[in-house]
Structure 1
Amino acid sequence: MEIRQLKTFQAIVNDGGFMKAATKLGYAQSTVTGHIQAIEEELGKPLFDRIGKQMVLTEIGKQLLPYANEIIVLMEKAIQLPANKKEMTGTLVIGASESLTTYRLPSVIRTYKAQFPRVQIILKPLTAEDMYEELKRGQLDLAFLMDKLITNEELCTIPLVTEKMALVLSNQQAKRAGKSSKDFLPADEVILYTERGCAYRYFFEKILNTHAYTPNNTLEFWSIEALKQCIICGLGASFLPLVTVKKEWMNHELTCILTKEDRIKTQMIYHKNKWLSPATQAFIKMVEEEAEVWKKA
């Protein structure tokens, strides 16, 4: 049984089929089929059942999967042993929400790459749901998320900073906003939401409910940058982490009304059973140092 065959098996399970695994690994589909057949011949039992158009793990496939994952992780450990101990090598796979990919991590990655140029960093913008799945599958070394504090027995969570949250309006809209808590937004305001599943969308909806504010018109955005531009041009109002709009606020391009919301944390997460390579440990240390700067901003 070869490591490439086990990687193929893992990819089929994680990516949902032979064709997707072939695309991901850069193999012909016949090669993927050959790898699985080789494992099945060695074990004497099939790894998958075909049910309709779906490939479902057999019992022996389910038993093999955790061993395959562990063997692949062990191989990664061996690869990341540097020939020269003074020079860090390896690959670091990081998942992060769009806001952190854009506003928190770039400076850390720049500093890290300057210090460890031979470490390859793969940065994957992911939703919270996808991050949890990839952490559990061992596909991510680290994940970064803005959310209420995550508690999960399989994951190790390191809180980094409590994010300041703001109601964000155009300068023209801010002049029309009511003074009382019930009328804190004009009655006809368009509410601009981030995507469903986003933590601060949930808290925005709670704030609106608290103020007995029922929006008549809403729009949903997947991109904070697009959402900000719509606010600036007067399309509507939103609720965002201050770090994502601070530059525009300081430049007087929009108005921020700071809130007392303090449950949104930027946090660093990894699986408790995931081996922390020297490259990963160095990145964790660097992020924790940078987080001290974030707290003072």
Structure 2
Amino acid sequence: MELRQLRTFQVVAEELNMTKAAKRLKYTQPTISLQLQSLEKELNVTLITRVGNKNVLTAAGKRLKTHVDRLFELMEEIESDMEAYSQPGGLLTIAASEYYWTHHLHPVIQEYKMLYPNVNISLLPLNSAHGIRSVKNAVADIAIVAGEIREAKVKKYYLEKEQTFLVASSQLTRGKNLQEILYHFPFISYDEDCSFYHIIEKFFHKTKIKPKSTIICGTDEAIKQAVLNDTGYAILGGNIIQDEIKNGKISILQQIDDPINTYAIHLKERSQEPNIETFTQILQQTWPTLS
């Protein structure tokens, strides 16, 4: 079967008039008759017959008309979808922490803009907990978040696993053991809204360490700077402090058992939106620790 034969049959079945069908299809009537005869021969059925002076569909013709209508509806849907994917456009809003923007997302966005220049990207500097909320509330299309995701309506894409450490500045640790540091200096922490705050709680519960005092800084970068300024000790992911560890500015006091998992997330119901689907694909291909 050829699509042009099926299309001819569909129009003839709708019009039941060869002259009107020929006008719609811009074919001659003999061409239409030949296509119908060829289709009937291939299917080994009669599709259209005459009753008196009228053309009518046979039972086989009615059944084929149902299939053909569904076929061309599907083809229109395919064409519409592919047209959307040929040039995604409009606005794509991405929520992520300052660290992810600075260290990970720039090459991803650069690659994406080369492929899809018609997409405008809006960046929301949010921590992981707020990023999750922004996706759930449709404020952001996609969020890059750290920690486990337990939202039923959210689809997640694994990006990396990051080891965590209890750290302090090398200046602060000089000449002191761990117990002295924990006793004399405050713990510099994320707030309880942080999506991986449970890692901190679990560590202190397991080690039976109780910080003398706590300073809430909120962001990775703010906590790192407080550590570098000898303010106190902190639990940080290895990525953000790798340079400071290499150049000797930060010392590892203890490795934490639980790593931080990083994911890209969006609402499941939006999985087939062209901007979201194309960006998550590029994200997984170009995320620095995956490549």
Question: Which residue number corresponds to residue 110 of structure 1?
Answer: 110
Distance 1:191 1:260 in 2: 15
Structure 1 gaps of 5+ residues are: 1-77
Partners of 1:262 and 1:111 lie apart in 2 by 32
Tell me, in whole angstroms, the C-alpha distance in 2 between the residues paired with 1:229 and 1:128.
20
- Asked if 1:133 corresponds to 2:129, the answer is no
Residue 217 (structure 1) aligns with: 213
Q: Distance in 2 between matches of 1:177 and 1:81?
A: 65
Equivalence map 1:36-75=2 (5 Å): none
RMSD: 2.8
Measure how far apart 1:236 and its partner are. Answer: 0.6
Shift of 1:256: 3.0
Count, aligned residues: 211
Amino acid at match of 1:115: L
- Cα contact 2:199–2:258 (8 A) shared by 1: no
TM-score by length of 1: 0.62
Contact 1:188 1:215 (C-alpha < 8 Å) held by counterparts: no
State the 1:205 CA deviation.
3.0
- Shift in Å at residue 137 of structure 1? 3.2
Equivalent position of 1:206 in the other structure: 202
Partner of 1:173: 172
Residues 95-104 or 210-219, more deviating: 95-104
Check 1:133–1:212 CA distance in 2 against 1; reply closer, same or farther (3 A cut).
closer
SS at match of 1:110: helix
Shift of 1:99: 3.3
How many angstroms does 1:119 deviate by? 1.4
Q: How far apart are the structure 1 equivalents of 2:204 and 2:194?
A: 16
Match of 2:20 in 1: none
Q: How does 1:68-107 map to 2 (within 5 A)?
A: 85=86, 87-107=87-107
CA distance in 1, matches of 2:208, 2:171: 23
Counterpart residue number, 1:231: 227
Using the TM superposition, give the Cα deviation of residue 98 of structure 1 relative to its aligned residue in structure 2, in angstroms.
3.6
In the aligned structure 2, how far is the partner of 1:100 from the partner of 1:261? Answer: 23
In structure 2, relative to structure 1, the CA distance for the partners of 1:274 and 1:295 (3 Å cut) is: closer
**Which residue is 1:294 aligned to?**
289
Deviation of the 1:176 alpha carbon = 4.2
Percent of pairs identical after alignment?
23
Q: Which has the larger radius of gyration?
A: 2
Contact map agreement 2:271 2:277 (CA 8 A) in 1? no
Higher helix proportion (structure 1 or 2) = 2
Taking structure 1 as reference, are residues 214 and 290 closer, same or farther at Cα in structure 2, changes over 3 Å only? same
